[in-house]
Amino acid sequence: MKRTATNLFFLALPLLLGVIVVAILIVLVVPPNTTLGDVLQAFWNGAFRNLRRFSGVLVFWIPLTLVGIGLVITFRAGLWNIGVEGQMTLGGLFAAGLAFMLGEGSPLVIIPLCIFGAMLGGALWASVAAFLKVRFGVSEIFSGVALNAIANQITLQLIAGPWKPGDSDKAQYSRPVPDAARLLGVSQDFNVSVVGLVVTIVAVVLVLLVLARTRWGLNLKAVGKNPRSALLLGVPTTITAFSALMVCGALAGIAGSQRILFTYGDVRGQFAGGIGFLGLLVVLLISARGVWVPLIAFLFAIMLNGGTQLQFLNLDSSLTGVLQGALVLAVLLANGLRDRLRKPKQAKG
């Protein structure tokens, strides 16, 4: 009982400290005639005022959750997959490329092919970082940063070249994706892709089951805890690390396809929208506990969509980015404190 209470305390401490820091920050930056309640009301109105605003929250939640649950896999294996933003980008580009190539046809055929292509594109881009990691010992952090930049340049080249709209000389966006490849929303007011919701929920459930109930999930945990000991115990550390990055890349690729096939309907620069980096914050916040990904991703989606209403309080919407950073720093501080408190007990044991 005492051990359970201690674990619950250390689980709640980072979130509690983060909420306190965010609340203090809001109080310090709001205008004198604005209360904390006004700020919370603005976030509420921006996210839940009507079905249209709530659908905006879910549209952002879908790719963020896919990226977050994928990053749980790489974090479990002890890998910092910074290149997840580029994997989103390549996934979206593969989906768009297949859509342009297949043209008009049956959505029942084209949409699954585009999603599969997105998985392939994200996995292949992740495999580059994985190969550099396992073959030459290049940190996935450094290779990921480089691959993100390369992915952005590939996007701009495609927009300015073969995918350029016929009626425009500006390289801001591509020609529209064919209608047969577009994901449809439920309604005009509740414009959320059913396919996106189903794929996301299935992906979360599958990842949680695989991590908890398969030998591969156990191998990931062993490699993440101590790669050398895992290797001595017969765990295929190279294959495990490689596969972790590729599975994460495949999930990120699906997230990228959602941005192309549903959110925008075309390809544009930086279409990933920083969701990959935000997914890293989500996973850091929950200490890579996969079961919390949907909830924390939902809270981040509320924060970002609700933040658009802050302008009516004479506050810049960029405040949401400051709040996210403060929250993550608070959680890292709390986790550091937790580790320091646990070390003396482990030493005594």
Structure tokens at 55: 């659908």
CA angle 121, 124, 128 (to 5 degrees): 140
Quote the pLDDT of residue 77: 94
Quote the pLDDT of residue 303: 82
SS3 287: coil
CA distance 63 to 41: 26
pLDDT over 60 (residue 60): yes
Closest CA relative to residue 154, chosen from 133, 128, 180, 192 = 128
CB neighbours (10 Å) of residue 295? Answer: 12
Closest CA relative to residue 38, chosen from 312, 240, 254 = 312
Domain residue limits at 245: 57-319
How deeply is 80 buried, as exposed, middle or buried, from its count of CB atoms within 10 A (0-12, 13-18, 19+)?
middle
Per-residue confidence band for 264, with pLDDT thresholds at 50, 70 and 90: very high
Quote the pLDDT of residue 24: 74
Structure tokens at 318: 């960029």
Per-residue confidence band for 89, with pLDDT thresholds at 50, 70 and 90: very high
Residue 19 in any domain: the answer is: no
Residue 245 in any domain: the answer is: yes
Give the pLDDT confidence of 173-226 residue by residue, as tens digits: 899 999 999 999 999 889 999 999 999 999 999 999 999 999 999 999 999 999
Report the half-sphere exposure of 348 (CA within 13 A, side-chain side). Answer: 4
CB neighbours (10 Å) of residue 172? Answer: 13
Q: Which CATH number belongs to the domain containing residue 199 in this structure?
A: 1.10.3470
Quote the pLDDT of residue 2: 59
Residue 252 in any domain: the answer is: yes
Q: Average pLDDT for residues 92-109, to the nearest whole number?
A: 94
pLDDT over 60 (residue 1): no
Residue 49 in any domain: the answer is: no
% of the chain with per-residue pLDDT over 90: 56
pLDDT over 80 (residue 11): no
Q: Is the dihedral of CA 198, 200, 201, 207 positive or negative?
A: positive
Cα separation values, 65 from 256, 262, 292, Å:
12, 16, 10
For the chain, what is the mean pLDDT?
86
Q: Average pLDDT for residues 59-74, to the nearest whole number?
A: 96
Q: Average pLDDT for residues 10-35, to the nearest whole number?
A: 68
- Contact residues for 220 (Cβ-Cβ < 8 A; gap 6+): 73, 76, 77, 211, 240, 244
Closest CA relative to residue 279, chosen from 123, 63, 118, 97 = 63
pLDDT over 60 (residue 349): no
pLDDT over 90 (residue 318): no
Cα separation values, 281 from 58, 275, 317, 347, Å:
18, 10, 19, 31
Tally the domains of the chain.
Answer: 1
Residue 109 in any domain: the answer is: yes
CA distance 148 to 162: 21
SS3 160: helix
Give the pLDDT confidence of 221-240 residue by residue, as tens digits: 999 999 889 988 889 999 99
DSSP 8-state secondary structure symbol assigned to residue 308? G
- Contact residues for 332 (Cβ-Cβ < 8 A; gap 6+): 284
Residue 105 in any domain: the answer is: yes
Give the pLDDT confidence of 142-171 residue by residue, as tens digits: 999 999 999 999 999 999 889 988 766 666
Residue 2 in any domain: the answer is: no
Residue 9 in any domain: the answer is: no
Quote the pLDDT of residue 13: 67
